[in-house]
Structure 1
């Protein structure tokens, strides 16, 4: 398996993975989660979409945004047929390594307050809750994790 930047023509494939990954959350949340409405062609053009591929085909994706002082993990999606194989873990490892490579001291993310399983997973990975807020009609939990190895956190 390889992680690489998504390619322009893959936008529909990324959207399809997100549809399958987030679809089960629609009844719980009562509406489509924001990643289901994202513009993956724009994300690819901005260099923010990365895919995990196997045998040349994307099977999972992550969307990351570089900000001053942190890397934002905007979206991570693994095809439900492949969940439980460690592919999400590989993508989280990538995001944290990318933050360190860029010299950013932390990774931040947010998730829906109703996605308790995801909140617990991030907590096990070392992400701490930093707040809760309603944005764009979604009740969100904000989390952050310091990244070791970045220029900002490396011992001097």
Structure 2
């Protein structure tokens, strides 16, 4: 299967599409969690301005996925990765995560860390398959989170 999308740094004009992608990708978890997951209420404008957001796009501007990551000390925090429901199964999420890992490695970071909600059961199997190991579980801000790390 050929890659029919590009990944680029997000621009201010992408904010609404990034927010819509987050809403679409995470809506399925609202009932199970009991409230909107943190990625649905992020300050995307500030994150885009800070250069933390990359988008997967079809054509010049159709955002079909995004990733948010940034350096924190000796590691990179992968804060959010989402793919629109009509674009899943095409390797977009894996490509976005690979970008994060390459960026982390080239910056000299020792690892990529992330967390997910324990109710997002698919993530609990996907991340280990990508080489991440579970490091902790705790409740923060009313969310039951599972922490992962991948040495790079």
TM-score, with normalisation over the residues of structure 1? 0.92
1:68-83 alignment runs, 5 A limit? 68-83=73-88
Selected match of 2:30 from 23, 26, 31: 26
Structure 2: state its 5+ residue gaps.
none
Task: Report the Cα distance in structure 2 between the residues aligned to 1:68 and 1:4, rounded to whole angstroms.
Answer: 24
- The within-5 A match list for 1:81-92 is 81-92=86-97
Aligned length: 147
Query: Which residue in the other structure is 2:98 paired with?
Result: 93
User: Among 97, 101, 115, which residue is 1:110 paired with?
Assistant: 115
Secondary structure, counterpart of 1:104 in structure 2: coil
Provide the C-alpha distance between the structure 2 equivalents of 1:13 and 1:65, rounded to a whole number of angstroms.
21
- 1:3 paired to 2:7: yes
Determine helix, strand or coil for the equivalent of 1:64.
strand
Structure 2: distance between partners of 1:76 and 1:109: 10
Task: Work out whether 1:67 is the aligned partner of 2:56.
Answer: no
1:9 Cα deviation from its structure 2 partner: 1.5
Offset at residue 103 of structure 1 (A) = 0.9
Q: Secondary structure of the residue that 1:47 maps to in structure 2?
A: coil
In structure 1, the partner of 2:148 is 143
In 2, the alpha carbon distance for the partners of 1:36 and 1:145 equals 25
Secondary structure of the residue aligned to 1:51 is strand
CA distance in 2, matches of 1:62, 1:90: 10
Any unmatched runs of 5+ in structure 1?
148-156
Structure 1 runs (4+) deviating above 2 angstroms are none
Question: What is residue 136 of structure 2 aligned with on the other side?
Answer: 131
The residue matched to 2:104 in structure 1 has which SS? helix
Measure the CA separation in 1 of the matches of 2:95 and 2:34.
30
